């Protein structure tokens, strides 16, 4: 009987504790609802579902908007952290982030954000972190909705508020959307290295309230309702234009022709948006892709053109030649017939490291390629002769003159690769060298990885290109 009495008391105590906990939880929920209602009563809340109901802004007003809910169509932040992990941290860090993704989905949003920030930034050197300015803007712009950008453009002074670390969004907002003030989470650092920890949210909000906004009477907010209640900056708004997830599903993606600033993108390896499913596909493909790249490099290096060309085509490389009716156009600028005969100078735009090799394969003969910066691995694996230029006009003139006297030459005068449909400014030195100049237009398409990068490991260029 004593045991039964003890068990009954224990159950009664446990039941009483659960009831009190439930009442306390309901009380907190009620207090939050009352706080929300009081907060919403301080300004006008309107729904912004179309351009016709957009805020009537002018140059004298200040627009505070939430980046994730007011600009981006997708609700998942995982792809942006995967870009940071892959480009700044490497393959192993990206794999760890992918393995932790199920845990991130199970916990609340704030804890999930902290986990992803720690995995991506812990141990990264602050001075060498370029992903936020050189790589992430491409992926942000591909996820921007036209309707959101139209609203943001109408504001006078524009303040972008993001839950992401500021180093991830500042380059995109300031350089490509011309946002005046960017408010984001600051990362803690130690001796120039990120610790993977963010500042406290309350401290971050109070600091932004005091130092960023000031005392503007005409302040309009734009974003989703949950972000409005989550950030103290929106308490300054007299009006709040709300956007819902249903509205965002009907938005259209911003096309490249409508980008506020042309995107000159030549950094980073990832060519596709690394969603969770895409990231799984990348890691599944990686062993096979590495084997395929090594096989292609050996075929192109060791075998003659008559054998290597069909074998490379069998492995999946597709080359297409488009010429004008009278074959390739050439420009003869030689005025002295007694002058020593020079080789043909092929001038092409620069898309990938493989551009001279593609041209050599099409011509079915070796040509000499001049480069500005090429890794030792690329020089070793190159099946054609490569010569480095010095960026000194007089020295480079003598080098080009000597090479043209020995045979045909290919040059990419842009000096760097460009993946977009733009022709970058190039050096006119080549026009002073050749007697016969043939312009060549290169166009390349990749599915998973880019063949060149500005800040990554350059020795991987030939394998990524393959």
Residue 196 · residue 176 · CB < 8 Å? no
Instruction: Choose between 318 and 23: higher pLDDT.
Output: 318
In this predicted model, which residue has the larger pLDDT, 214 or 97? 97
pTM of the model: 0.79
Same structural domain, 88 and 58: yes
Tell whether 264 is covered by a domain: no
| Tens digit of each residue's pLDDT (9 = 90 or more) over 325-381 | 555 445 554 444 445 567 888 988 888 888 888 888 888 888 888 887 777 777 777
Do 221 and 328 reside in the same domain of the chain? Answer: no
The answer to whether residues 195 and 96 belong to one domain is yes
Identify whether residues 51 and 13 lie together within a single domain: no
More confident residue, 199 or 208: 199
Torsion of CA 453, 353, 327, 306, to 10 degrees: -150
Query: Is residue 272, in this structure, part of any structural domain at all?
Result: no
Count of domains in the chain? 3
Burial of 148 (0-12, 13-18, 19+ CB in 10 A): buried
pLDDT at 6 over 80: no
* Across 167-181, 211-225, 328-342, 355-369, least confident range: 328-342
Whether 89 and 32 map to the same domain: the answer is no
Q: Which range among 5-14, 114-123, 251-260, 297-306 shows the weakest confidence by mean pLDDT?
A: 5-14
Which of 437 and 40 is assigned the larger pLDDT? Answer: 437
- Joined together, the tokens standing for residue 132 give 């936020």
Most distant pair of Cα atoms in the chain: their distance: 122
- How confident is the model at residue 227, as a pLDDT? 65
- In a domain, residue 187? The reply is yes
Torsion of CA 403, 408, 410, 411, to 10 degrees: 40
- Mean pLDDT within 438-444: 86
Looking at the structure, tell me whether residues 111 and 148 fall in a common domain. yes
User: Are residues 203 and 92 located together in one domain of the fold?
Assistant: yes
pLDDT band at 417 (very low <50, low <70, confident <90, very high): confident
Q: 303 and 341: one domain?
A: yes
**Same domain for 18 and 154?**
no
Residue among 64, 293, 42 at smallest CA distance from 158: 64
CATH of the domain at 139: 3.40.50
26 and 51 belong to one structural domain: no
265 occurs within a structural domain: no
Contact 318, 362 (CB under 8 A): no
Token output for 248:
């965002």
- Separation in Å, CA 182 to CA 213, 272, 431: 11, 27, 45
Number of CB atoms found within 10 A of residue 238's CB: 14
- Report the C-alpha gap between 412 and 440 in whole angstroms: 10
DSSP 47-78: E--SGGGS----TTSEEEEEHHHHTBS----H
323: domain range? 295-465
pLDDT at residue 48, rounded to an integer: 58
| Residue 287 belongs to a domain | no
Q: Are residues 99 and 37 located together in one domain of the fold?
A: no
Q: Is residue 33 domain-shared with residue 100, that is, in the same domain?
A: no
The pLDDT mean for the chain works out to 78
What was the pLDDT predicted at 185? 87
Q: Round to whole Å and give the CA distance between 46 and 397.
A: 66
Is 30 a residue whose pLDDT tops 50? no
Tell me: the pLDDT tens digits for 97-146?
999 999 999 999 889 999 999 999 999 999 889 999 989 999 999 999 98
The phi and psi torsions of 353 (rounded to 5 degrees) equal -65, -25
Please report which confidence band the pLDDT of residue 29 belongs to, taking 50, 70 and 90 as the band edges. Answer: very low
Q: Which residues contact 430 (CB under 8 A, 6 or more apart)?
A: 345, 347, 400, 411, 413, 437
């Amino acid at each position: 009987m004593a045991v039964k009495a003890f068990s009954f008391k224990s159950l009664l105590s446990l039941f009483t504790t659960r009831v009190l906990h439930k009442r306390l939880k309901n009380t907190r929920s009620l207090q939050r609802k009352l706080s929300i209602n009081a907060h919403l009563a301080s300004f006008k809340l309107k729904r912004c579902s179309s351009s016709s109901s957009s805020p009537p802004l002018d140059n004298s007003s200040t627009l505070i908007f939430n980046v994730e809910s007011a600009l981006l169509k997708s609700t998942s932040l995982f792809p942006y952290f995967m870009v940071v992990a892959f480009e700044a941290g490497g393959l192993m860090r990206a794999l760890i982030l992918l393995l932790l993704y199920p845990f991130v989905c199970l916990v609340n949003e704030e804890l999930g954000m902290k986990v992803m920030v720690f995995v991506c930034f812990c141990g990264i050197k602050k001075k060498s972190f370029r992903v936020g300015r050189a790589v992430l803007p491409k992926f942000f712009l591909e996820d921007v909705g036209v309707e959101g950008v139209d609203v943001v453009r109408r504001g006078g002074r524009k303040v972008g508020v993001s839950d992401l670390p500021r180093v991830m969004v500042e380059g995109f907002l300031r350089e490509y959307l011309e946002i005046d003030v960017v408010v984001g989470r600051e990362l803690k650092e130690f001796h120039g290295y990120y610790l993977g920890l963010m500042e406290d949210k309350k401290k971050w909000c109070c600091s932004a309230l005091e130092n960023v906004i000031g005392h503007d009477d005409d302040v309009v907010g734009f974003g989703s309702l949950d972000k409005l209640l989550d950030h103290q900056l929106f308490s300054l708004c007299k009006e709040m234009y709300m956007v819902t997830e249903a509205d965002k599903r009907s938005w259209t993606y911003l096309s490249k022709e409508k980008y506020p600033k042309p995107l000159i993108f030549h950094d980073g390896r990832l060519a596709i948006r690394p969603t969770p499913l895409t990231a799984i596909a990348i890691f599944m493909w990686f062993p096979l892709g590495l084997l395929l790249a090594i096989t292609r490099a050996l075929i192109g290096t060791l075998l003659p053109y008559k054998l290597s060309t069909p074998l490379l085509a069998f492995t999946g490389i597709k080359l297409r030649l488009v010429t004008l009716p009278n074959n390739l156009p050439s420009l003869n600028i030689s005025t002295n017939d007694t002058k020593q005969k020079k080789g043909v100078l092929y001038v092409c735009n620069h898309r990938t490291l493989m551009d001279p090799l593609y041209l050599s394969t099409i011509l079915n003969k070796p040509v000499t390629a001049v480069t500005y910066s090429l890794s030792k691995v690329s020089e070793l694996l190159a099946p054609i002769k490569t010569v480095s230029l010095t960026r000194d006009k007089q020295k480079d003139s003598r080098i080009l003159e000597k090479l043209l006297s020995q045979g045909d030459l290919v040059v990419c005068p842009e000096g760097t690769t460009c993946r977009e449909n733009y022709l970058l400014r190039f050096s006119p030195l080549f026009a002073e060298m050749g007697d016969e100049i043939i312009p060549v237009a290169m166009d390349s398409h990749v599915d998973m990885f880019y063949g060149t990068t500005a800040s990554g490991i350059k020795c991987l260029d030939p394998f990524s290109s393959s």
